[in-house]
Copies of this chain bind each other. A is one copy, B any other.
Amino acid sequence: MLGNAAAIRSNTQSFAKGERIYTRNETAHHAHAVLEGAVRASHCLPDGRRHLSAFHLPGEIFGLDSGALRSHETEALVKTTTLAVRLDDLDREAGIDPGLAWGLCNLVAAELRKAREHMVLLGRKSALERVAAFLLEMDRRLATTGAMSKGGMSLPMCEHDMADYLGLSSETVSRCLTKLQASRIIVMSKRRTVRFLDRAGLHELDAS
């Protein structure tokens, strides 16, 4: 979807675990398509409170939602490679190629729908509902990648990141995961590895 047009320069970039990809208020140079790994987009309040507005997983795109300056910062959660596309090329080509511009518009619109859905979670769901919804979301989005083995789904983020994505404290996330295991709805054999025992039960808890 990105980088098909000949006049758009792209290159793969690699980021180590924890490495910053871009920072708030920095000039935006590239959009990225995640090839491998995982990325978090974080917003901080002056007093240090943090919120993650998105995770970006393989096959997904980020860094398009920019004015001239970045509104948030992004970091690699694990070793990550992206296909980086120069925004000035994209801007120029999108001004010429309507198919490209319209395709990008629909990508961003889909992103907006997801964001609005997440707002409902943040505004109206209980802690257990949020965690259940999160697991189902990750299951869906990781399904296409190598993160699903027979042992279960391997999550790339720590519980603190989940908490900041879900508007909870990390302790509450831990308690919810413990409760889901006690209810025989999931099992976590290894750290960050989740297997569903009762998917219908999860959907019921999700409440959406």
Q: Which residues of A contact B (CB under 8 A)?
A: 41, 43, 45-47, 49-51, 53-54, 64-67, 71-72, 91, 94-102, 104-105, 108-113, 115-120, 122-125, 164, 166-167, 207-208
Known contacts A53-B120, A120-B51, A208-B46; is A108 also within 8 Å of B98 by CB?
Answer: no
Contact across chains for B98 and A96 when beta carbons are under 8 A apart: yes
Complex CA–CA separation, A123 to B166 (angstroms): 7
Contact across chains for A65 and B116 when beta carbons are under 8 A apart: yes
Contact across chains for A51 and B124 when beta carbons are under 8 A apart: yes
Chain B min CB distance to A33 (Å): 16
Known contacts A46-B208, A98-B98; is A71 also within 8 Å of B116 by CB?
Answer: yes
Q: Which residue of B lies closest to A46 (CB)?
A: B207
- Determine which of B50, B112, B117, B167 lies in contact with A112 in the assembled complex, contact meaning CB atoms within 8 Å: B112
Complex CA–CA separation, A74 to B116 (angstroms): 13
27 contacts between A and B (CB under 8 A): A41-B116, A43-B117, A45-B120, A45-B124, A45-B125, A46-B207, A46-B208, A49-B124, A51-B120, A51-B124, A53-B119, A64-B109, A65-B109, A67-B110, A94-B101, A97-B98, A98-B100, A101-B102, A101-B105, A104-B105, A105-B105, A111-B112, A112-B112, A115-B116, A119-B119, A119-B122, A122-B167
A118 CB contacts on chain B under 8 angstroms: 119
Complex CA–CA separation, A77 to B67 (angstroms): 30
Q: Which residue of B lies closest to A115 (CB)?
A: B115
A65 CB contacts on chain B under 8 angstroms: 109, 112-113, 116
Q: Which residue of B lies closest to A163 (CB)?
A: B123
A102 CB contacts on chain B under 8 angstroms: 91, 94-95, 101, 104-105
Chain B min CB distance to A151 (Å): 31
Complex CA–CA separation, A82 to B133 (angstroms): 36
Q: Which of A41, A95, A98 has the most CB of B within 10 A?
A: A98
